[in-house]
Structure 1
Amino acid sequence: MAYEIMNVLIDNWPATQLVGHRYTFEDADETAFGHLWEKWNASDRWANLAKLGKPIACVGLMRLKGESFEYWIGNLFAERIQVPEAFESLKFPAIKAATAWIEGFPNEIFGKDPACGAWDTILQKYPNLKRKTVDGWMIELENYTARFDRVNSEGHLTLDYLFFVTD
């Protein structure tokens, strides 16, 4: 394991609305969904979302229900907003969330292994937690906070993995 879990915490999140785009495994390539982030960053999508107000988070949201998998790229907003044409939306109730800060090189902090490592570390600290589903969907997020924008002296980034939970 080349990444390191730097912090684990529990927060109560307000009701939120994700505005962005939904993707499936059919949209993935060898980078998983990295190429889609590159397309977003090269387009005007972020600028269009900025017109909606200040988001509480920029996220990559994964949701799983049985064999159905979706990966969303977008912004979470605390208030219900009118969704612009060409965007999609998900609404979430106020919910408890467990977060793990994971630090490493960019090629180490994304994917199933670091996400599972983050969840395992959360369970070590909070063994009674369980994953909370929303409308039958299990949710986890890559939360791109200001920590992600700062590269440390070792060249590492910090990504927050966030999981909807219940006691």
Structure 2
Amino acid sequence: MVEVIKVYRERFPSLRLIGKRYTDKDRDSSGSFGSKWNEWFEKGYFKTLEELGSLPENGDAYLGCMRCADEFEYWIGMFFPEQTPIPEGYMYVDIPSGDVGTCWIYGRDDNGEIYGRESHDMCLSKINDEGWQVANNAWVFELYNCPRFTTPDENGKVILDYCIYLRDE
């Protein structure tokens, strides 16, 4: 069973998200972006980004970053300081500084239970319990931290960092 085991608020600086942007038309037959992640690992896209010197806010993680403005967009990439040059073949978006509500979702990665609407709604509920409000058109991102996410525990479970930009207080 999936559960949120930790919730906290942190301040992120202005940053540049560098990666590749996808939309609903890029989803694979299962409705996810798993095939895009496979492509990133197969083609070594992260190696180029790792050479740029990322922000500590990435932790030891790659990220999937989402928002819904005019259309749903899904980014795979990493956070960098503002003004970081963009490698050829990559895209970017600058994100202003802001507070982020971070939830640790504990569950199984292999069956997909830590992803999707149920986990998202659980995090929103925990954020609301704290009295925080989600920003309009908020960026939402998943950090796949080492070793919390990459090394399953004795129960086969991992921790996914699920983060949502909040309204300023």
Any idea what the Cα deviations from partners look like across 1:5-51, whole Å, max 9, x if unmatched? 11000001111110000000000021511111111111110111111
User: 2:48 aligns to what SS in structure 1?
Assistant: helix
Corresponding residue for 2:128?
123
Any idea what the Cα deviations from partners look like across 1:53-110, whole Å, max 9, x if unmatched? 13432210011125x1000000011343000110000111111000000010011111
Which has the higher mean CA deviation after the structures are superposed, 139-148 or 7-16?
139-148
Structure 1: how far apart are the matches of 2:85 and 2:125?
37
Which has the higher mean CA deviation after the structures are superposed, 42-51 or 16-25?
42-51
Is the Cα contact below 8 Å between 1:144 and 1:160 reproduced in 2?
A: yes
User: 1:138 aligns to what SS in structure 2?
Assistant: coil
Corresponding residue for 2:98?
95
Aligned residue type for 2:164: F
Corresponding residue for 1:158?
159
Aligned residue type for 1:116: D
User: 1:163 aligns to what SS in structure 2?
Assistant: strand
Corresponding residue for 1:51?
51
Is the Cα contact below 8 Å between 2:54 and 2:78 reproduced in 1?
A: no
Is the Cα contact below 8 Å between 1:16 and 1:79 reproduced in 2?
A: yes
Is the Cα contact below 8 Å between 2:54 and 2:79 reproduced in 1?
A: no
Change in Cα spacing, 1:79 to 1:145, as seen in structure 2 (3 Å) is: farther
Structure 2: how far apart are the matches of 1:119 and 1:54?
28
Structure 2: how far apart are the matches of 1:111 and 1:34?
13
Structure 2: how far apart are the matches of 1:99 and 1:54?
19
User: 2:115 aligns to what SS in structure 1?
Assistant: coil
Tell me if 1:113 matches 2:132.
no
Deviating 4+ runs (over 2 angstroms)? none
The Cα of 1:138 is off from its aligned counterpart by 2.4
Corresponding residue for 2:8?
9
User: 1:132 aligns to what SS in structure 2?
Assistant: coil
Structure 2: how far apart are the matches of 1:47 and 1:89?
17
1:141-156 mapped onto 2 (5 Å cutoff): 141-146=141-146, 147-156=148-157
Structure 2: how far apart are the matches of 1:45 and 1:100?
27
Corresponding residue for 1:38?
38
**What's the Cα RMSD here?**
1.4
Structure 1: how far apart are the matches of 2:149 and 2:94?
25
Aligned residue type for 2:79: L
Aligned residue type for 2:120: A
Question: Which is strand-richer, 1 or 2?
Answer: 1
Aligned residue type for 2:54: K
The Cα of 1:131 is off from its aligned counterpart by 1.5
Structure 2: how far apart are the matches of 1:165 and 1:142?
15
Is the Cα contact below 8 Å between 2:40 and 2:46 reproduced in 1?
A: yes
